[in-house]
Amino acid sequence: MSTSGKSGYHHGDLRAALMEAAVEMLEQGETFSMRAVARRAGVSPTAPYRHFEDREALESAVAVEGFRDLKTALTEGRDAPSSATDLAENAVTYVSFALSRPAVFRLMFGNECDDTNDQRVQAAAELHELLSGAVGTVFPDADAPTLGTALWSLAHGLAFLHLDGKFAATSSEEVAARVRSSFDAVLSTHRGSGAATRDTD
C-alpha cells in the first residue's frame, strides 16, 4: 500500500485512495471517521460507503492489506527458510516491518480481530501458516505448532517492545542484532537434535 503522503483523489481508484488516506491518518496519530477519511481523500462524505460499510470495515481492509504486505516482505526475493538462521532473518524482517509501519502493524495486531471479516481472518491465517510451515521445515522433529507459536510470540513481543520504547531502536542494525541474539538464545536448545541448525560463522 502506498503511503506517499499525497492527499486527494486523483488516480481514479476510490478504494485505494480511501485506504491511503486512512493509513496517513493512522500514521499521524489521528482518530479517523469515515467523514474525515473522505475529506483527506478529497471526495464527498458519502463516497466511502461505496466500498466500506463503516469505519470498522475500512480498518479491516487496511489490516488485510498490511497482512498481505508483511507476507510479501517475508517471501518475496528469498527462498523458503531452511535453517535457524533463516528463521532469525524472518524475525528481523517481521520486526523491521513493524517499525517501518507502526500504525498499520498496531491495527493488524493491536485491535481485536474482526472474526466476521473473512478476508481479515484468511490473511491472518495465511501469515500464521507461513510461519508455522517454516518452523516445521527447519525443525521437522519438533512440535512445530507449539514452537512456531513460541517463535512468533518472540518476534511479535520484540516488535512491540521496540514500538513501545522499552528497547531502543537507534538503528536498524541494533534492532536486527537484538532480534538475532534473542533467536539464538531460544533456538540453541534445538542444536544437535538432528534438525537444521543456525550457522555459527
Provide the whole-model pTM: 0.82
Q: Do 126 and 178 share a domain, yes or no?
A: yes
In this model, does residue 32 exceed pLDDT 60?
yes
Within 10 Å of residue 109's Cβ, how many Cβ atoms? 16
What would the grid cell of residue 149 be?
Answer: 507459536
Q: For the residues 179-198, what does the mean pLDDT come to?
A: 71
Residue-wise pLDDT tens digits, 91-122: 999 999 999 999 999 998 865 655 666 788 88
Domain-embedded: residue 92: yes
Within 10 Å of residue 170's Cβ, how many Cβ atoms? 8
Residue 183 burial (10 A CB sphere; 0-12, 13-18, 19+): buried
CATH number at residue 64: 1.10.357.10
Q: Do 75 and 156 share a domain, yes or no?
A: yes
Predicted pLDDT at 128:
87
Q: Do 168 and 71 share a domain, yes or no?
A: yes
Within 10 Å of residue 166's Cβ, how many Cβ atoms? 10
Q: What percentage of the chain exceeds 70 in pLDDT? A: 84
Domain-embedded: residue 176: yes
Q: Do 45 and 60 share a domain, yes or no?
A: no
In this model, does residue 58 exceed pLDDT 70?
yes
Domain-embedded: residue 2: no
Q: Do 29 and 96 share a domain, yes or no?
A: no
pLDDT band at residue 191 under the 50/70/90 scheme: low
- Contact between 125 and 173 under an 8 Å Cβ cutoff? The reply is no
Predicted pLDDT at 174:
96
Residue 110 or 53, more confident? 53
Q: Do 131 and 176 share a domain, yes or no?
A: yes
Domain-embedded: residue 105: yes
Residue 5 or 82, more confident? 82
Residue 136 or 120, more confident? 136
Please identify, among 50, 72, 94, the residue that sits at the C-terminal boundary of a domain.
50
Predicted pLDDT at 170:
87
Sequence-distant (≥ 6) Cβ neighbours of residue 156 within 8 angstroms:
94, 109
How many domains would you assign to the chain?
2
Instruction: Report d(CA 19, CA 60) in Å as an integer.
Output: 10
Residue-wise pLDDT tens digits, 63-84: 999 999 999 999 999 999 999 9
Predicted pLDDT at 116:
62
Q: Do 113 and 23 share a domain, yes or no?
A: no
Q: Do 32 and 66 share a domain, yes or no?
A: no
Domain-embedded: residue 46: yes
Q: For the residues 121-141, what does the mean pLDDT come to?
A: 89
- Contact between 14 and 51 under an 8 Å Cβ cutoff? The reply is yes
In this model, does residue 201 exceed pLDDT 50?
no
Q: Which domain holds residue 180?
A: 56-190
Q: Do 46 and 103 share a domain, yes or no?
A: no
Average pLDDT, the chain: 85
